[in-house]
Structure 1
Amino acid sequence: MWLKNLQIYRLPANYAMTAAQLNECLLSRAFVPCTGMDVQSQGFAPPRDGGDLVHTVNGQMLLKLCTEKRLLPASVINQVSKAKAAELEDQQGFKPGRKQMREIKEQVADELLPRAFAVQNHTAVWIDPVNGWLVIDSATPSKADDVLKLLLKSVDQFPVTSLRVIQSPLAAMTSWLSSDEAPIGFTIDQDTELRSCGMDKSAVRYVSHTLDADDMGRHIAAGKQCTRLALTWADKITFVLTESLAIKRVTALDVIKENSDSKMQDDCERFDSDFVLMTGELSRMLADIVDALGGEASA
């Protein structure tokens, strides 16, 4: 298992709460499927079937937020409401008015909701209490906020903070492209986006394209700044760094996959082995990214 999109937060180094203590706190927010008239249900579920809400290996913790939503499209409500309105018109001899139509739609929604199809999605949360990382596998900050809100409701005085660095990713990535030189331990790949900070908001995007230094220089001289940049770390992991310090499209390269024990037949052992391998590499990668951005900013 590998996290694909990293929203990164900070915990105090050597965070003292144990997995057992955290598990106890999360029990009050355990996931329960939608029942009755629930449109959505959200809570923490075991990362591994039959396990605790906090799965831990070598001091690294893994959580899973489960969100279930009932799908009740407006088109379905409108279709059924239209049929009911036609029946009512035959009974009363005139078309239902706005208020009556609103009441019909509300009644139809109440009738259909318990039978609506429910879909689930899961968001992984990795906690590294040794190095003080809390990472949420989400492509958008809004989903990460949902996780944090539930954690803050579950754990009293949960000491999570945003990651702050000395040099902004926007300035750093623009500098790397301008000089055609990546920070130590990294290489620049073939995807990037440069965007103007002027009124026109013009942008140019390169996808699987050689990033020519002269081209990059012209765009930067014209006032554009780098908002996304694909990088490879230590010839092991590729990713895209964004201006908001989110890391997207994380992919482990073959050199890491070859180190995993593919001969293991037990799913639980394989899961734990992959988790240990992933957390070890990502912990080092995150530290190097912070260093490349000038270090961590003091509060």
Structure 2
Amino acid sequence: MWFKNLQLHRLPAHWSVTPEQMQQWLAPLAFSDASSIENERRGWVSPRGNDSLVYTANRQMLITYRAEKKLLPASVVTQFTKERAIELEEQQGFKPGRKQMRELKEQVTDELLPRAFSIRRDTNIWIDPVHGWLALDTASATLADDIIGLLVKSVTDLPLASVRVARAPVSAMTDWLLTGDAPAGFTLDRDTELRSAGEGNATVRYVGHALEAEDMRRHIEAGKQCMRLAMTWADRVSFVLTPSLTLKRVTALDVLKEASDPTAVNDDERFEADFALMTGEFARMLADLTEALGGEEDLRAAA
């Protein structure tokens, strides 16, 4: 159940949307199987495999985006197209031109699609109307754009915004490495990437390696900046912070796994307990992380 990535967006705190409203918004774009001649299809599916497109617990919501794509390798299309081109050349006495080759390729693609395998990929989205978070469980910016695009089509007047913090993550991560001091509530782990902004983009990566203060200082003084930094929050959740404020490789540590509800007797109860634990921890972690980055600009301006 635990998200492995957090691509973050902002909603107004205490956004007054109900699961019933969300269900009504998502239903018109619910996923249905692609037809034999369609290359891809996308839509909303139930997070729990039932009739509800919205799972909710403790005012937190979970929705699931599904993308289906036919697997039709370009090499196969090319092979069949060449065979058709040879047949056409024998019929008409000369090689097919560019337009004919394009038409042949389109015809072959249409004929092969019904025989192609389908690949489905589900992506979960956490909606926190209480604290104003919307997070996608993906590290792919392209997939995130597709999901947000469908969400904007589905939800009436979706008040979605980017997360704007006072300190750029790159600047903050670089300073933390330079001083060797993590922000309050966090520790710096043993993975990082430093990159030069100059010509050549010289890059140094540390994986499972102690981040020695002298080494960090030498790289930073040479003009490199921190582009990825592994961190742990409160000994409870580890993650890798990126310049876009996307959290990757999010992992619940043993202390949280031990906190799972031992009284849950079936899958539904375990899912509810895990979802409540995850969303509660994430909300607190994100509050601490934005504070470590100087707070959110809009909130600071309104204060």
TM-score (norm 2): 0.95
Query: How far apart are residue 45 of structure 1 and its match?
Result: 0.5
Shift of 1:219: 0.6
Tell me the amino acid that sits aligned with residue 88 of structure 2: L
- The residue aligned with 1:57 is 57
Give the C-alpha shift of residue 200 in structure 1.
Answer: 3.0
Q: Which amino acid in the other structure matches residue 37 of structure 1?
A: I
SS at match of 2:28: helix
Aligned to 1:76: 76
Instruction: Look up the SS of the partner of 1:31 in the other structure.
Output: coil
**Structure 1 position 266, deviation (Å):** 1.1
Q: Which runs of 5+ in 1 are unaligned?
A: none
SS in structure 2 opposite 1:145?
Answer: helix
Counterpart residue number, 1:190: 190
Match of 1:178 in 2: 178
Shift of 1:151: 1.3
Q: Deviations for 1:181-238, whole angstroms, at most 9, x for unmatched residues?
A: 0011100000001111122311111000000000000111111111110000000111
Offset of 1:107 from its aligned partner? 1.1
- Runs of 4+ in structure 1 deviating by more than 6 angstroms, as ranges, are none
Do the aligned residues in 1 keep the contact of 2:180 with 2:213 (CA within 8 Å)? yes
Alignment of 1:12-27 (within 5 A): 12-27=12-27
Matches within 5 A, 1:212-231: 212-231=212-231
With normalisation by structure 1, the TM-score equals 0.96
Q: How does 1:1-299 map to 2 (within 5 A)?
A: 1-262=1-262, 264-298=264-298
Residue 93 (structure 1) shift: 4.2
In structure 2, C-alpha distance between the alignment counterparts of 1:68 and 1:5, rounded to whole Å: 21
SS at match of 1:228: strand
Q: Paired residues, what number?
A: 299
2:13·2:130 contact (CA, 8 Å) conserved in 1? yes
Separation in 2 of the partners of 1:171 and 1:263?
Answer: 45
Paired with 2:98 and 2:223, the residues of 1 have a C-alpha distance of 54
TM superposition shift of 1:110 = 1.0
Query: CA RMSD, aligned part only?
Result: 1.4
Amino acid at match of 1:172: A
AA in 2 matched with 1:86: I
The gaps in structure 2 that reach 5 residues or longer are: none
Q: Which amino acid aligns with 1:201?
A: N
**Contact 2:194–2:204 (CA<8 Å) still a contact in 1?**
yes
Alpha-carbon offset, residue 87 of structure 1 = 2.9
Q: Offset of 1:284 from its aligned partner? A: 0.4
Does the residue aligned with 2:229 lie in a helix, a strand or coil? Answer: strand
